[in-house]
Structure formats: C-alpha cells, structure tokens
Amino acid sequence: MQMPLMVRFLPDFKVMCRHPLAKPLVFVLALWPFVHLVWAAAFDQLGANPAEALVRATGDWSLRFLCVVLAVTPLRVLTGNPALARFRRMLGLLVYFYVVLHLLSYSGFDMAFDVTDIAKDIVKRPFILVGFLAFVVLSALALTSFNRAIRILGGQNWQRLHQTVYFVAGLAIVHFFWMRAGKNNFAEVIFYAVVLGILLAWRMWRFLNKSRL
C-alpha cells in the first residue's frame, strides 16, 4: 500500500523542487537552528555553560549541513530529480555560515578574540589545527562558489577545487573525534563517519563505473 503512495508523491516532489518558493523555504528552514540559538542565548536557555553550548551547537550544525550538501548529488541521481541541484550552492554557503559561527564562538567565548592566544592554541592543540585547516579550505570553496569563479578558473579546475569538500569532510570527522576523545564519547562521531563514508563510497563507485565506460 505504501509504495504506490510513494511513487505518486515523487512527481509532486519534483514539481515542488522547481517551485519559485522552494529555495526561500529551504533557506528559512536552514536558518532555524541559528534563530533558535539566538533565542536560547537571549533568554538564558543554553544551560550551565552557554559558551560551550554555542561552540558545540554551531559545530554540530556545520557537520549536519555538510552531510546534507554531500547528499544532494546522490539524491539527485537516485531519484532522477535534477532540480535538487539548484539547492546545492545555497546549502554549501550555509555550511560555511555555520562554520564561521563555530569559529567565532570559539574565538570569542574561549579565547576572547585574542589573536596571539588563538594562534598559539592552533599550534598547541591538533584538533584545533585540523578544524582551522577545514575552515581555510571551506573559505576557498565559498569564495569560488559563484559563476564568475567558474569562468575564471575554468570548469575542470573549478570542479577539482570543489571536490576537496570530501577532504573537508574528513578533517571535520577528525576534528570531531579528537574533541570527543577526551570524554570517551564516540557515538555521534561514528554516526557521522558512517554517513560521510557512505556518501564518499557512492561517489567513488560512480567515478569507477564512469571510468570503465
């Protein structure tokens, strides 16, 4: 009974993805975690350690949206819905938005925006170094996410650059692992590692199949 209903729903979903309001709606939904955090901070609802709560929450949402971005192409191919591609750039920039919030939360609440102390911390603590490296690579991707950058770099060079998002995903998992290692809490790390591993494996499988053709 459920499968026919799903089949009937898919064409409607494709139409919804092409609707002019689809992107604004996705954008508003993607900003909801930010709005919630601002609300919680304003009304003292972040728990006993608000600074730590903000640093962790922005980091968690960065990783979640990174998974969503990497899932766009597999979903587009598997569902035969090319309209999903129109959300990828916006979602990628939202990943960067949450990563910047994560960096600002750490820099402000943990380091009081002291550049010297931040630089020392990056050198001293490997998981901070890994996270900062991920931010640098993501910055390059964000700055070249526009059509003009594609024309300047050339299609193939631009594509190679943006494939480094999988390198960023690996760095994010290592950053998350080292952060949780101190408390022996690896359940979430394993979950995200499996999700990103599946997405990367699908990409590799598709690349190898194309190479054989």
Q: How many domains does the chain have?
A: 1
On whether the CB atoms of residues 135 and 95 are closer than 8 A, the answer is: no
Mean pLDDT of the chain: 89
pLDDT bucket at 11, cuts 50 / 70 / 90: low
> In 3D, which of 168, 85, 92 has the Cα closest to residue 130?
168
In tens, the pLDDT along 67-84 reads: 999 999 999 998 888 999
pTM value > 0.85:
yes
Q: What is the pLDDT of residue 183?
A: 73
**12-16, 45-49, 173-177: which has the minimum mean pLDDT?**
12-16
On whether the CB atoms of residues 46 and 54 are closer than 8 A, the answer is: yes
Q: Domain of residue 112: give its range.
A: 2-212
SS3 content of the chain, % helix, strand, coil (to 5): 85, 0, 15
What is the torsional sign of CA 105, 110, 114, 119? negative
pLDDT above 80: residue 27: yes
Q: What is the pLDDT of residue 13?
A: 73
What is the torsional sign of CA 139, 99, 95, 62? positive
In tens, the pLDDT along 123-153 reads: 999 999 999 999 999 999 999 999 899 999 9
Buried b vs exposed e over 113-127: b needs ≥16 C-beta within 10 Å? eeeeebeebeeeeeb
Q: What is the pLDDT of residue 2?
A: 46
